[in-house]
Amino acid sequence: MDHVESPLISIVTVVYNGEAHLEDTLRSVMAQTWTNVEYIVIDGGSNDRTVEIIKENDDRIDYWISERDNGISDAFNKGISCATGQFIGIINADDWYEAEALEAVAKAIIDDPDAGVVCGRIQYWKQGRKDFEFESDPSRLHLEMTVNHPTCFVSRKVYQRWGVFRTDFKCAMDYELMLRFKIKGEKFLSLDKVLANMRLDGTSDKNWKQSLVESRKAKLEHLGHPVQTFAYWVFQYARRTIRDFLLRFGFNSMIRVYRAHFSILAKHETP
């Protein structure tokens, strides 16, 4: 990969009826300490105040569109097709970046021009308060989604080589994509730094069963090993069921034990 002194980073925000938190996302992109940024917003034809909010920030957005799409993968792909930056990050309307996130990514790209995907840590929030941090570990993608997609920045050349999001995946499209890139031999860089924030208020987890089904499908296609893949799917299903039970009945101490011993990635409680 050619050395780049000051890489242009394209950011894509996909939104549909996101008036509640869209401004937080927009401000987090516009407040970045790294200024060589291209910002693209793809709206799925919202009927709340989303488009009004986008228009209010039109002078800081390089391109936006509001029209119906064929699902979130299609919306992601629209944004990627518009991007001209060397690397592309995707941040949805419920999430937001740390102020120095893009600067950290840009420095990593400059230091290692062979990197195809840069990712990092994510801070989860619950009811307006910090809950825990979740690291990214690309070395375990053969097991499950072990990189935090809101922290992922993908080289445009990688998309050109191996394709974009598959529209037949409705929930685990990010896992299929990252597994595909890993299997193809792309180099991942995982930064020991919080790059993005995500709310844990229930909406993001409602399709977890479908996500597990699609993750299993991705592993079968890219890795094979049907017996091992099924066994791990059973493990994931049981693990998630236990977690939901503990959350429902407020067993906070047991939840900490769960995170420490059953989560595939390190989760760190945030004071």
CA angle 79, 81, 87 (to 5 degrees): 80
Reported as a single tens digit per residue, the pLDDT across 196-230 is 999 976 444 668 889 999 999 999 999 998 988 88
DSSP 194-256: EEEEEE-SSGGGTTHHHHHHHHHHHHHHHT--HHHHHHHHHHHHHHHHHHHHHHHTT-HHHHH
pTM assigned to the model:
0.88
Cα angle vertex 200, ends 197, 201, to 5°?
Answer: 135
The structure tokens listed for 221 are 């296609």
pLDDT at residue 203, rounded to an integer: 42
Which distant-in-sequence residues (6+ apart) come within 8 Å of 215 by Cβ? Answer: 144, 145, 172, 175, 176, 233, 236
User: According to the model, what pLDDT value does residue 5 have?
Assistant: 81
Distance CA 142, CA 136 (A): 13
Residue-level pLDDT at 28? 98
Q: Which stretches of the chain score pLDDT less than 50?
A: 1, 202-204
| Structure token digits, residue 163 | 């394709």
Angle at 8 between CA 135 and CA 16, to 5 degrees: 65
Domains in the chain with CATH codes: 9-269 (3.90.550.10)
Q: What is the pLDDT of residue 127?
A: 83
